[in-house]
């Protein structure tokens, strides 16, 4: 339950940071939102890492959700890289984020196999 609330608040903060119509924030308010975003993301990450499954069904749901999130995240980054490459304005952060996600996935697989 708390994870859902934190996720919703994170989405609102991300929307405020994007500020699509330049209506929401001044610079100081934007900095406060950035700090809140970082703090809430840290709390959310703690909940994700401490999440325990009670049975195989819950473990399967957790694995499916993780796999879907990874695939959607990498797909969005690849689309962003392709679009920005065609426009000749490639942002290095897109490439770095994709590399970190892939290395994290590989690292997680290696760690889980070593732990078994």
Report the pLDDT value the prediction gives residue 62, as an integer from 0 to 100: 85
The mean pLDDT value for 45-51 works out to: 82
Confidence of residue 97 (pLDDT cuts 50, 70, 90): very high
Cα separation, 56 vs 66, in Å, equals: 15
More confident position, 17 or 66: 66
Confidence of residue 47 (pLDDT cuts 50, 70, 90): confident
Report the pLDDT value the prediction gives residue 34, as an integer from 0 to 100: 84
Q: What is the DSSP string of 14-75?
A: HHHHH-TTS-S--HHHHHHHHHHHHHHHHHHHHHHHH---SSHHHHHHHHHHHHHHHHHHHH
């Amino acid at each position: 339950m708390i994870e859902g609330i934190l996720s919703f608040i994170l989405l609102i903060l991300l929307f405020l940071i994007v500020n699509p119509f330049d209506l929401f924030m001044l610079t100081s308010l934007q900095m406060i939102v950035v700090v809140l975003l970082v703090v809430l993301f840290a709390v959310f990450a703690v909940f994700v890492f401490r999440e325990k499954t009670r049975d195989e069904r819950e473990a399967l749901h957790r694995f499916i959700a993780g796999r879907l999130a990874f695939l959607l995240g990498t797909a969005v980054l690849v689309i962003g890289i392709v679009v920005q490459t065609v426009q000749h304005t490639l942002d290095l952060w897109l490439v770095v984020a994709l590399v970190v996600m892939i290395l994290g996935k590989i690292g997680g697989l290696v760690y889980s196999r070593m732990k078994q």
